[in-house]
């Protein structure tokens, strides 16, 4: 049975999408069957995996706001062992589209059930919000990865995300008690700057057993890869960034036995 991992942080620009693309590619490189669900109106994961948003007929908006089945919305990423349900700017209107729907935070959980046997890992790339899209991801997920940039405001915002996860674990009638924290992932570490290491210490103090050993360094390879329509494993396999994301995949595979 596949595992659904939501990549969440209400703070923007911390590396959620970069992690969805590159961890997805690294898990696929390890022979795992991977689906990435792009739940962000910016559709950065979709573009970063080599799709042109104009060509996409169906998207994750239809997953949440139509009767279409999840398997009808899956596209295969060009030349790769990753499938995707793309993002769309229509997601901006999701709250309105779901206004009168009962149990609207459970749509994704129900829709993804049939896909769980088809994939080893389903990674859900979330928008920087705590709206209905992210609630759906949290109720559907088995675990979350929380990317945290090695800077103060990102550290300072972490407890809010942890509280949100706790709310989902304990929500009356609709709880997702199985939801665990796969790990907090420190990202964008500038190893010439001592300050980043102070943030690492603070995060490890806050989440001693839940911080990934792997830390993602700041690197231009990760900024360039999406422009070339692929993961860093495809565009610069021997780079440090590629190695770090492969190490992260290894850590997750080891943790999941």
Ligand X SMILES: Nc1ncnc2c1ncn2[C@@H]1O[C@H](COP(=O)(O)OP(=O)(O)OP(=O)(O)O)[C@@H](O)[C@H]1O
Asked if residues 34 and 120 have their Cβ atoms less than 8 Å apart, the reply is yes
* Member of 8, 14, 37, 132 binding ligand X (CB under 6 A): 14
Size of the site for ligand X (CB under 6 A): 19
Q: What is the C-alpha separation between 34 and 27, in angstroms, rounded?
A: 7
Q: Which does 15 bind (CB under 5 to 8 A by kind): Mg ion, ligand X, none?
A: ligand X
Tell me how far the alpha carbon of residue 137 is from its chain's centroid. 9
Retrieve residue 139's tokens.
């109720």
Residue 187 binds to ligand X (criterion: CB under 6 A): yes
Q: Does 231 bind Mg ion (CB under 5 A)?
A: no
Residues 222, 236, 249, 252: which binds ligand X (CB under 6 A)? 222
State which of residues 8, 17, 186, 233 lies at the interface with ligand X (CB under 6 A): 17
Measured distance CA(87)–CA(76) in Å, rounded: 14
Could you tell me the smallest distance in angstroms from the CB atom of residue 37 to Mg ion?
13
Instruction: Tell me the closest approach of the beta carbon of residue 125 to ligand X, in angstroms.
Output: 7
Q: How far apart are CA 110 and CA 188, in angstroms?
A: 35
Q: Does 12 bind ligand X (CB under 6 A)?
A: yes
Euclidean distance between CA atoms 70 and 61, whole angstroms: 11
Task: Name the residue nearer to ligand X (CB basis): 16 or 80.
Answer: 16
Alpha carbons 244 and 249: distance in angstroms, whole number: 9
Cβ proximity of 168 and 139 under 8 Å: yes
Q: Which stretch binds Mg ion (CB under 5 A): 9-17, 50-58, 59-67, 77-85?
A: 9-17
**Residue whose tokens read 């991801």:** 137
Interface positions, 20-59, toward Mg ion (CB under 5 A)? 44
Place of tokens 């603070």: 202
Report the interface residues with ligand X, using CB under 6 A.
Answer: 12-18, 40, 42, 44, 127-128, 187-188, 216, 218-219, 222-223
Report the interface residues with Mg ion, using CB under 5 A.
Answer: 16-17, 44
């Amino acid at each position: 049975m596949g595992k659904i991992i939501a990549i969440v942080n209400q703070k923007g620009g911390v590396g959620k999408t970069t992690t969805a693309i590159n961890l997805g590619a690294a898990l696929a490189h390890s022979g795992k069957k991977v689906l990435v669900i792009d739940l962000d109106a910016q559709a950065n994961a979709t573009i970063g995996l080599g799709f042109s948003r104009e060509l996409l007929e169906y998207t994750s908006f239809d997953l949440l706001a139509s009767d279409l089945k999840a398997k009808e919305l899956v596209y295969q990423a060009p030349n790769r062992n990753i499938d995707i349900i793309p993002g769309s700017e229509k997601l901006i209107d999701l709250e309105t589209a779901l206004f009168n729907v009962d149990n609207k935070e459970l749509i994704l959980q129900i829709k993804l059930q049939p896909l769980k046997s088809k994939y080893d890992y389903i990674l859900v790339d979330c928008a920087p919000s705590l709206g209905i899209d992210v609630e759906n991801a949290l109720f559907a997920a088995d675990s979350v990865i929380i990317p945290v940039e090695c800077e103060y405001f990102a550290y300072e915002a972490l407890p809010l995300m942890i509280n949100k996860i706790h709310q989902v674990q304990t929500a009356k009638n609709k709880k997702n008690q199985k939801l665990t924290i796969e790990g907090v992932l420190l990202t964008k570490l500038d190893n010439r700057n001592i300050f980043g290491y102070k943030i690492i210490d603070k995060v490890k103090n806050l989440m001693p057993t839940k911080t990934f050993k792997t830390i993602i360094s700041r690197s231009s390879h990760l900024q360039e890869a999406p422009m070339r329509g692929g993961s860093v494993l495809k565009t610069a396999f021997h780079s440090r960034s590629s190695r770090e994301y492969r190490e992260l995949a290894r850590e997750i595979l080891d943790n999941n036995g």
